[in-house]
Structure 1
Amino acid sequence: MIKRVCCISLLIASSAVSANGQLKAVPLYTEAELIALIKKNQHLKRVKDDDCQLLQDIEARAETMALPSYQFLYGDMLAYGVCVESNVELGLYYMRQSAEQGLSSALEQLGRYYDVGQLVQADKAMAVVYLREAASQGNLSAQIRLVNLFNAGHGSPRDYEDAYRWLFHSAVADKKLHNKIKKALAHLAEKMPQSAIRRARLPI
């Protein structure tokens, strides 16, 4: 505990030896930087690239400061044994802590895990719960997966309109993904009354 408090209060950046033998400071990740890495799914690679030098700082910010982005990072590290001994149960605990604080990436990842049965037993109802919350925050991956779950017969028709609205108003540059979304929305529209579709398409 004393070691963690010191890491927090002093905000010490760990040191790594560069190729030319000089000490190279490894700066702590800002919240914005870490969230950007998480969105690109590069957070674990970054930790490994930094030679695991920030492990104590990451643990302290996840456990003691309860920062959602660091809880997510530490949870992933534990789940997949990156710089720490693998502990899936504890990793999921930190991911859930992050999700409870509203981090959309954590919500989306847990929803995906429950959808496909990765690390946890498959549970479509639980997947919808997590994905709906992430989708409402604009998480495109969650929006697509949520609509696909509805199209497969899971979830409640009461949520179709919101799911349609979120995905319909998403901005997507990739043509292949755009066509995929178009087909998914067309499928969902078959399950909805025209009045609900019209409302969902109104500007937001």
Structure 2
Amino acid sequence: MIKKLCCIALLMSVTAVAQEPLTAVPLYTEAELIELIKKNQHLKRVKDDDCQLVQDIEARAETMELPSYQFLYGDMLAYAVCVDRNVELGLYFMRKAAEQGLSSALEQLGRYYDVGQLVQADKALAVIYLREAASQGNLAAQLRLVNLFNSGHGSPRDYEDAYRWLFHSAVADKKLHQQIQNALARLAEKMPESVVRRARLPM
């Protein structure tokens, strides 16, 4: 009798769980995903959502060709987040996002070519990607680009723009502010005073 009651109770419990509605994870809007990417929280978000959106993310990257989703899917592939690792395909999608002008993709590829992460180091390619991201106001790209120029890479024809973009950036962090100040001082040494003055004029 006790065994029979236990079986009935277990059956009722399983039935109750089965009847609970599953909560669907809403797909990220473009604006929301871009903010997650800027904060470098996009991969964590996919993990936190228990990898439920992989097929939707893949469809928006491959079929709809949305740059933010191409970047997300590329990162997922490169770092084996909710999918099997495929660095080559991951880089393909990152490049597709960069071709559409996504600042974060341009900055990341520029950084990868600068340090040789996932790809062979290529300072010339790094400058190309970083310059495009920097022109869109990407602070990380602006600082890295100036540092590359200070290290002897790139063309002096680009110094003025790089100086202007970084000089007019707004930074609250004191340590980062000092890094920017030092980088600008070094770049100014490579430029005529008249060009530095012009670069400092309001944009």
**TM-score scaled to structure 1, two decimals?**
0.89
Amino acid in structure 1 at the alignment position of 2:80: G
The whole-number CA distance in structure 2 between the counterparts of 1:78 and 1:102 is 20
User: In the TM superposition, what is the alpha-carbon distance from 1:69 to its structure 2 partner?
Assistant: 0.0
The answer to whether residue 112 in structure 2 is matched with residue 108 in structure 1 is: no
The answer to whether residue 164 in structure 2 is matched with residue 165 in structure 1 is: yes
Count of residue correspondences: 185
Alignment deviations for residues 75-128 of structure 1 (CA, whole Å, 9 cap, x no partner): 000001111100000000000000000000000000000000000000000000
The whole-number CA distance in structure 2 between the counterparts of 1:122 and 1:88 is 16
SS of 1:23's partner is coil
User: In the TM superposition, what is the alpha-carbon distance from 1:195 to its structure 2 partner?
Assistant: 1.1
Question: Residue in 2 aligned with 1:10?
Answer: none
Superposition pairs of residues 55-204 of structure 1, within 5 angstroms: 55-204=54-203
User: In the TM superposition, what is the alpha-carbon distance from 1:22 to its structure 2 partner?
Assistant: 5.2
Identity score, percent: 86
User: In the TM superposition, what is the alpha-carbon distance from 1:23 to its structure 2 partner?
Assistant: 2.1
User: In the TM superposition, what is the alpha-carbon distance from 1:25 to its structure 2 partner?
Assistant: 1.9
Question: Residue in 1 aligned with 2:26?
Answer: 27
Structure 2: segments with no counterpart, 5+ residues:
1-16
Greater Rg by CA: 2
Question: Residue in 2 aligned with 1:48?
Answer: 47
SS of 2:23's partner is strand
Amino acid in structure 2 at the alignment position of 1:140: L
Alignment deviations for residues 163-188 of structure 1 (CA, whole Å, 9 cap, x no partner): 00000000001111101100000000
The whole-number CA distance in structure 1 between the counterparts of 2:30 and 2:200 is 34
Q: CA RMSD in A?
A: 1.0
Alignment deviations for residues 25-67 of structure 1 (CA, whole Å, 9 cap, x no partner): 2000000000000000000000000010000000000000000
| Divergent runs of 4+, >4 A | none
Amino acid in structure 2 at the alignment position of 1:82: V
SS of 1:138's partner is coil
User: In the TM superposition, what is the alpha-carbon distance from 1:24 to its structure 2 partner?
Assistant: 1.7
SS of 2:65's partner is coil
The whole-number CA distance in structure 2 between the counterparts of 1:64 and 1:112 is 27
Amino acid in structure 2 at the alignment position of 1:160: Y
SS of 2:24's partner is strand
Structure 1: segments with no counterpart, 5+ residues:
1-16
Amino acid in structure 1 at the alignment position of 2:173: D
